[in-house]
Each structure stands twice: as structure tokens, then as C-alpha cells.
Structure 1
Amino acid sequence: MAFKHRRWIVLGLEYLGKFPSRTRFRPLSLDIPKPLFPVAGLPMIQHHIEACTKVPGLNEVLIIGAYSKNDLAQFVQEMSSTYGIVIRYLQEFTPLGTAGGMYHFRDQIRSGSPTYFFVMNGDVCADFPLQEMVEFHNSKQALLTIMATEATRQQSLNYGCMVLGKEGEVAHYVEKPSTFVSTLINCGIYLASPEIFQTMADVFHANQQQDHLMQLCCNGRDPAHIAFEQDILTRLAGSDRLFALPVFRWWSQVKTAGSAIYANRHYLALYKQKQSDRLASTNKNYCHIIGDVYIHPSASVHPTSVLGPNVSIGPSTMIEPGVRIREAIVLGKAHIQAHSLILHSIIGTGTSVGEWSRVEGTPCDPNPNKPFAKMENLPLFNINGKLNPSITILGTRVSLAAEKILLNSIVLPHKELTRNYKNEIIL
């Protein structure tokens, strides 16, 4: 489907490492911005960009976030070169919310008179149905289209919930309701027409008319802060201009490190369907491959090692003889020594796992017996003050001695482990 004007995408990034509440992805986000964390061998938001480049007529990407430009400069340059499109990063210097950030940079977004533009949260992973959204949005002449999916009744309370009319229009929308509203939830993927900025302007001017001092005292946020869900979607619900497209493809938020393992598995499965050349094979990589495995071309993997299913190996990593890895992400420049075992874990950049050691976590996948179940983003500790079972994480440049066992633990960067650990956080 061709359009007269070019279309843009806006990626809204999570502000990890900038504000105190955004700590659930640590220690992985201590050394790399969360949106650049590799999942299935690619930075998380590269999957967004790659999906968008497959939409006909889309030729520019804007990334909005609170990270320093230096943190994303190399990534932006590499993506522009890889996909042959213009990519720019627009830095917020104060938290404005998704809609507030878009409104702040409205001139950059509207430049070139786009017909539509995508808005995508940086902490979601999915088999993105972007072309379907374009066709649906166009057929409904919508102001804004939401990608929606089903959740369980209990889990729906953690998301934005909506009730649809007969034509797919959103009749009612509530963000994280206190009581049950609907099992249809917001996926954080939108397609908007430029007229959406008038709605944002109405909210912005309404905020400005309030006493600034009283507002800052009451809720502590900038008057220019506009929350996309609470301030825009709630306002548009029932107007016959807000629509939702329910989809049943894979979708997940990546709020915690455990959810990165889950996303890794599904992106590898998508490779198998659509880009099988990215996956390793026993014939191509000369080691024993089980299921879906990604191995960076610069990694060194011994022929007697066994990898998979659902494993990603980063650049310049060394895998020695007899190693067994399953359901894991091993980042770049790691050294996995002979006969070690890694299960349900993330191994940080430059980390060394000693020979005959065992690193194992607890899978935290959605309940397979509940249709539409999503990842449970559990807090680090339970109500009894004990560490919730989760995957094991070794931060950057951790050294685990030979013949040691590390179970259900989180290790911060630059630690030397010389004994066994179980259900601990090693600070």
C-alpha cells in the first residue's frame, strides 16, 4: 500500500538509569542502556527498527528518550548505515512522559508532512503487525490506533484496559485499573495521524492554566508532562476517533532480566520462520546445536560443546570443550570454560565462568495452562523479604572460580566468586 506522504516512526524509550524507580533491569542496565540490551543477538530496539523498515514508504526514525546522546550515538550511526534510513535521537532533559516528549518535539515529527507515524514503547518485544495496523488505521480513518492483545483477568490489572465497540472503536479506556475492566490490553504500539497533536495541545494548555506552584507541590511533575495513556487515550475513548486492533501474535513487555530470556526465545523462533540464515546449525557451526540458537560470527565455539535450545552467544565470546548451555544469553567477550553448565541465565560482558562450574536460574515463563498469560514481572523480594526465584544474572566482568555452583542469584559487576552461592544477591 503506497501513500502520498512519507511516514515516520517514533520510538519512545524507557528512561532506565535516570530516575530512581527504573531499577528492575539491573545489573544489566548498569553498563548499557536497557533499550540496547542484546536479545537474540540484536539490541532490543533494533527489532523495532527492523520491523519498521519493512513498512513501505517509511524512511525516517526518531528516537525520543532521556539518555545522553553519547550513549546512543554509535547505535544510531550503525542503524542508519545498516538499514539505509535516516535515524535521529532527540534527548529529553526532563521527564515529560511519552505524549509530553512527542509534543515537545512536534515540529521535528511533523516536518515533511507525514501521513501517519508509529509510536512504540522501547520496552516491548513482539512480532510486530505494522502493515496490518496501517491498513486498519486507514480503513477506519482513525486519529489513533492501538495494538491490543488478550491477557488473563488478573494480569489485565497491570496494563491499560479497553472496551471496544462493534467497529473496533475504543468506547472505554482505563490505565492499570483497580478493578476488572476487560481482558483486552494495550500493547504500547500505536499508529497516529498528525492531528493527534491538537489533542496534546489541549492537554498542554489545560495544564498551563493551572497554578504551576500548586501543581508541582501536589504531584511533583513538570506542567509540560503529558502521559500518553492517562491524558490522551482516556480523553479520546468514546470519541469514535480512537480504535484498537486486537492481535494474537506473540507480544511481551521486557521489564525485568527474566523477561529478556523469554523474549530471546521468541525472537529466535521468529528467525526460524522469517530469517533462518541468522540461526546456527550443527553443519554451519561445527558444534552440537539443539533448537534455535544464535551465535555471533566472531564467537569461538568448540565442536564438543552443546548449545540450545534458545541460546544467544555474543561477539568475541569463547566457548570451551564440553560446555552445555540452554535457555541463556551470553554477552560479548565472555569466557565459558571447559565442561561448565549454564541454564536459564544471563552471562554479562567479559565474564568468566570456571571449568566444571554450574550456573543455573529458575525459569519464570508465563503459565502455559492459562490462555493469554503474560510474563509476571515479580518484585525482587517476596513479602517475607526473601529473593523471588528467577534467572541467574552475572554482571559485567564477573569471575566465577572453577567447580563452583551458582543458583538463583544476581551478581553485580566486577565480582570474584570463589565459593558456592544460592538465592543471593552478591553486591
Structure 2
Amino acid sequence: MSSVTKGVILVGGPSKGTRMRPLTLDRAKPLLPIAGKPMVWHPLAALAKVPGLSEIILIGFYEDNVMAPFVKESQREFPNIRISYLREYRSLGTAGGLYHFRDSVLRPPVPQHIFICNIDICSSFPFAEMLELHNKHRGVGTILGVKVKKETATRYGCIVSDPETSQVLHYVEKPESWISNTVNGGVYMFDVSLFDEIKVAMDLKATRAQNDPLVQLDENLQLEQDVIAPLAAQRKIYVLESNDFWKQIKTAASAVTANALYLKDYSKIRPDLLSKGANITGPVFIDDSAVIDPTAKVGPNVAIGAGVTVGEGARIANAILLENSLIDKHTVVLNSIIGSDCRLGQWARVDGEPEPETAVKGQISVSVLASEVWVAPETHIRSCIVLPNKSLGKSAANQVLL
């Protein structure tokens, strides 16, 4: 009898994604299009390829009606897998939400393995390799480990492991000083005994609450600090170190970087999603309903959404264009995100700088136009954040335009 596997995607809620504003002012972060598909679609599509996977559960605290259209469309695209969304009554943390809905995760067919993904990850999602390693070591869990530069490692959960056995020896979430270049990639695989481990963490929190009035007794638990760190101390968790692409999606600038990574990956796994043409420099995704003038030059690393119009002589590169926007004649868009229903006049220019390796506080790199922004002809917007419903009649640089 083949083993049953289920997937869980932790999608967060409306109090999250604040660093993605203004893009998340009028849409949920998991539904923000990256490489032409909602952010949450990428891990879901990867999970759908796992042999024996029977169900994918999205857990978060967005209203049901926010996620329902995506769930319905995904069910249509992946008819052999049950897909559902479970809404937390409030934010319960990465482990608290899992434990709150444990009965739903464990309903028949009862899974032997559970994949868990954070929403804000751009990755190749090497689930098959994780399953292979997990079946060899038979610990409680396997965590995806990725290499980052030493200067940035302390921003993540850092992993020290045995290079021969892949057993995690030490795990610290955002340490004060450097301990390892291998960090938590936000993708996990666990046996069902995970819920026993979360119960232990819940009981420990209850004990602390009895002894310390400053500890709040609730269901809020973090997978990283409350579960993975103790498992590492007990030598019960292992790491699959991947050299494939990986990116955390926390800001609008990182969404442009992730867009390029996913588009490049399409050439290997989904070439049918990429557009070709005389004036297209790949990789480029163009929605079927978009209208692109044949003289416009598009690419590389461009995703164009539904109902977008790009006029003659326009130039688009390293950009995301959301639905129903108009890019008029001879307009240039570089290193930018153009929100839905925007209008860019003739000979206008919206550009920015590529995402820096290390963000500088107060410095804007990628230009971001929220929904329904109008840019006058011959106006230059560089490295600006523009809030919704703005009319821009003069050029601006390195500003937040309210």
C-alpha cells in the first residue's frame, strides 16, 4: 500500500504583507501575481506533482471569500487533488494554525507525510528530494536548507548540521551573531508525529503561563522557535541542502527578483507558459488577453497580466504589469511593478534600480505603482512608491507619492 501525503501552505493574513504595500492594499499577498500566476500557485503547483499527494490545505486568516476564487480555480486545474482553505479565527502563528486544524489535516485518508510551505518563498520546491531523504533517516522532519551570504545569514533561522548524515545539530532563529550560512528555506516535511511535538510545545507554554503572568496562554505558536529548535536539540530533524534557486518574498523589490527566477524556471518545467516573438527577449509571460503591439520590445524577465495593452514602440524589461493597465506609445517600463488599471501616457518612463543585495533603510530601488495611477505623457518616475488613485503630472525620483 502506497503512503498518503498531504500538503499545507501557510498563507498568513491581512496584517501580514505590510512590506508589500501598496500592492497589498487591494489584494491579498498570496494572490499577488508573480510570473503571471498568484504567489500561492507556485508551491501549490509543485505540491500537485508529488506522487501520492491527495490533498492540499491552505491555512490563514484572510476572509473565506478572498481565497475562494483561487481555491475554485485551482481545483479545476488540479482535479485529482482535494484543495481547501481553512481560516483561523485569528493569527495563530506557523505552528498554532497547524495544530488548531489538526483534525482536518489528519482526516481520512490519514497521511504518513505532510509537506508544509510558507507563502513568502520563491523556490524550486524540491519535494521529491526531501521525501527521498526523509525516507532514509526516518526522523520526525526534514527541513529545506539554502545557502545565503554570511552578511545576511542572521536574518534567517540558521542551521548547523552533520555533513555526513544531514542531521540538524543546532538551530537558532535569527541569531545575534553568525553561526552558519545554511538557513531555513521555509519548506518542511514531517511525519504525523509533528502534532505530538506541537502538543509538547503547547504544554510547555501552558506551564510557563502558570508561572509567569507575562506569558499569554493562547494557541499562538511558531513552528521555527517552538518546534524546530527543540527537535534540533533532540536530534530529531534533518536538512536537505539545496543549491537551486531560492528567494524570500518580503518586499515589492523582491517580487521583481522572484518574478525573474520563476520565469527562468518555466523554461525548464513549463515552457508552454512562456511567450515567443520577434521583439520578445525571453523569458516572458504574456496573458492571452493582453494586447502587445508588434513593434513593442518586451523582455527579459517580464510578466504581463490579463487585459494589459502595450502600445507601439514601448519598451518593457524586468517588470510586472498587472491586469488592465495601458502602456502607451513609446513608453518605457524598467525594474518596476505597474499595478492594475494604471495608465502610462506616451513617452512616459517608469523605472528603478534592481533589488540591492542589502536593503538600505529609506532607499527605494524598484518603482511600484499601485492600482489606478495615471502618469502624464513625457513624465519620468524613478524609484518611487506611488499609492492608489494618483495622477502624476510631473517627474519624481526616490519618493513615496501619497
Residue of structure 1 in register with 2:101 after alignment? 105
Letter in 2 for 1:86: R
* Residue 312, structure 1, aligned to residue 303, structure 2: yes
> What is the aligned residue count?
399
Match of 1:262 in 2: 257
Alignment of 1:87-106 (within 5 A): 87-106=83-102
Report the AA paired with residue 87 of structure 1: I
* Aligned position for 2:195: 197
Moved over 6 A (4+): none
Greater mean alpha carbon deviation, residues 198-207 or residues 25-34: 198-207
**Residue 119 (structure 1) aligned with residue 110 (structure 2):** no
Q: Distance in 2 between matches of 1:268 and 1:47?
A: 11
TM-score under structure 1 length normalisation? 0.91
Alignment of 1:18-167 (within 5 A): 18=15, 22-84=17-79, 85-112=81-108, 113-165=110-162, 166-167=164-165
8 Å CA contact 2:322–2:339 kept in 1: the answer is yes
Using the TM superposition, give the Cα deviation of residue 278 of structure 1 relative to its aligned residue in structure 2, in angstroms: 1.2
Q: Deviations over 1:144-195 (max 9, x none)?
A: 1000011111211000011112311111110000011111110010001000
How far apart, CA to CA, are the structure 1 residues paired with 2:341 and 2:147?
Answer: 39
Return the alpha-carbon distance in structure 1 between the equivalents of residues 33 and 386 of structure 2. 19
1:329 pairs, out of 310, 320, 323, with 320
Q: Is the 8 A contact 1:313 1:331 kept in 2?
A: yes
Match of 2:339 in 1: 348
Q: 2 CA distance for matches of 1:254 and 1:195?
A: 30
Note the C-alpha offset of 1:365: 4.7
| 1:181 partnered with 2:176 | no
CA displacement at 1:4 relative to structure 2: 2.5
Give the secondary structure class of the aligned counterpart of 1:12.
Answer: strand
Q: AA paired with 2:95?
A: A
Counterpart CA distance in 1 for 2:263 and 2:382 is: 25
Q: Which residue of 2 aligns with 1:168?
A: 166
1:277 & 1:74 partners in 2: Cα distance?
A: 24
1:274 paired residue number: 269
* TM-aligned CA deviation for residue 238 of structure 1: 3.4
Q: Which amino acid aligns with 1:5?
A: S
Equivalent pair of 1:14/1:123 in contact (CA under 8 Å): no
State whether residues 262 and 365 of structure 1, in contact with CA within 8 Å, keep that contact through their aligned partners in structure 2.
no
String of CA shifts for 1:254-284, please: whole Å, max 9, x gaps: 00000011011011111112221211111xx
8 Å Cα contact 1:207/1:224 also seen in 2:
no
Letter in 1 for 2:152: Q
CA distance in 1, matches of 2:58, 2:117: 10
- The question of whether the paired residues in 1 share the 8 Å contact of 2:325 and 2:340 is answered with yes
Closer, same or farther: CA 313–222 of 1 in aligned 2, 3 Å: farther
CA distance, structure 2, for counterparts of residue 123 and residue 222 of structure 1: 28
Q: Please tell me whether the aligned partners of residues 18 and 67 of structure 1 are also in contact (alpha carbons under 8 angstroms).
A: no
- In the alignment, is the contact (CA less than 8 A) between 2:209 and 2:217 conserved in 1? no
Moved more, 343-352 or 5-14: 5-14
Amino acid at match of 2:225: Q
Instruction: Name the % identity.
Output: 36
Q: Secondary structure at the match of 1:328?
A: strand
State the one-letter code of the partner of 1:402.
P
* Alpha-carbon distance in structure 2 between the residues aligned to 1:361 and 1:222: 46
| Structure 1, 186-195 or 87-96: larger mean CA deviation | 87-96
Q: Distance in 2 between matches of 1:293 and 1:71?
A: 28
CA deviation digits over 1:336-366, x for unaligned, max 9? Answer: 0000000000000010101100101111154
**2:308–2:324 contact (8 Å) kept in structure 1:** yes
1:245 to 215, 240, 243: 240
The one-letter code sitting in structure 2 at the alignment partner of 1:406 is: I
For residues 101-128 of structure 1, give each alpha carbon's deviation from its aligned partner in whole angstroms, at most 9, with x where no partner exists: 1011111111121010101000001111
The two structures have a TM-score, normalised by structure 2, of 0.96
Structure 1, unpaired ranges of 5+: 367-375
3-state DSSP class of the match of 1:390? coil
1:57 alignment partner AA:
G
Asked whether the 8 Å contact 2:205–2:217 carries over to 1, the reply is no
Q: Secondary structure at the match of 2:43?
A: helix
Q: CA deviation at 1:415?
A: 0.7
Q: State the one-letter code of the partner of 2:394.
A: R
Matched, 1:234 2:229: yes
Match of 2:368 in 1: 393
Residues in 2 aligned to 1:267 and 1:212: alpha-carbon distance in whole angstroms: 48
Residues 337 and 367, structure 2, Cα contact 8 Å, conserved in 1: yes
**1:144 corresponds to which letter in structure 2?**
G
Confirm or deny: 8 A CA contact 1:18 1:66 kept in the other structure.
Answer: no
C-alpha contact 2:6 2:115 (8 A) present in aligned 1: yes
Cα distance in 1 for partners of 2:379, 2:240 equals 50
For 1:14 and 1:416, the matched residues in 2 are separated by 32
RMSD of Structure 2 on Structure 1 (CA): 1.5
Separation (CA, whole Å) in 2 of partners of 1:309 and 1:329 = 11
CA separation of 1:222 and 1:125: change in aligned 2, threshold 3 A:
farther
Q: Is residue 96–residue 222 contact of structure 1 (8 Å, CA) maintained in 2?
A: no
Residue 288 of structure 1 aligns to a residue whose secondary structure is coil
